[in-house]
């Protein structure tokens, strides 16, 4: 079985609201979207961001946009304005997600 990094099959943008970081993950085509829905599960995302996000992960598939909406709770040290991190707004969380490797069918 071969593996692929998300950066090679999808794109993503992240933002913040309070202590939540949200990431939109966009498949390059319908077949990739089916793959993302199967492989990029809430549990998988939580493991990927262990040590960054301490709250639960929410996941919303959007078939009309070939996209997954991901919400990481308690992910920004309490929020951008009290965070000590350089990436206090979580703008690079999307890039961090694109590092995830998944199995190809």
Q: Are 48 and 97 in contact (CB under 8 A)?
A: yes
User: 41 or 54: whose CB is closer to another protein?
Assistant: 54
Can residue 71 be called a binding residue for another protein (CB under 8 A)? yes
Give the strand order in the sheet containing 67-72. Answer: 10-17, 20-27, 67-72, 57-62
Nearer to another protein, 62 or 103 (CB): 62
**Does 8 participate in binding another protein (rule CB under 8 A)?**
yes
Binding test (CB under 8 A) with another protein, winner from 39, 52, 54, 102: 52
- Judged by DSSP in three states, 15 sits in strand
Which of 2, 5, 6, 24 has its CA nearest to residue 90? 24
Binding site for another protein (CB under 8 A): 7-20, 22, 24, 26, 28, 48-52, 58, 60, 62, 64-67, 69, 71, 78-82, 84-87, 92, 94-96, 98-99
């Amino acid at each position: 079985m071969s593996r692929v990094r998300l950066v090679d099959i999808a794109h993503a943008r992240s933002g913040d609201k309070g202590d939540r970081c949200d990431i939109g993950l966009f498949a390059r085509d319908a077949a990739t979207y089916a793959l993302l829905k199967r492989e990029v599960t809430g549990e998988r995302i939580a493991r990927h961001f262990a040590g960054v996000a301490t709250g639960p992960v929410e996941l919303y598939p959007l078939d009309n946009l070939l996209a997954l909406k991901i919400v990481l709770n308690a992910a920004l040290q309490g929020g951008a304005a009290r965070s000590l991190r350089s990436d206090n707004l979580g703008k690079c969380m999307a890039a961090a997600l694109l590092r995830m490797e998944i199995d190809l069918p």
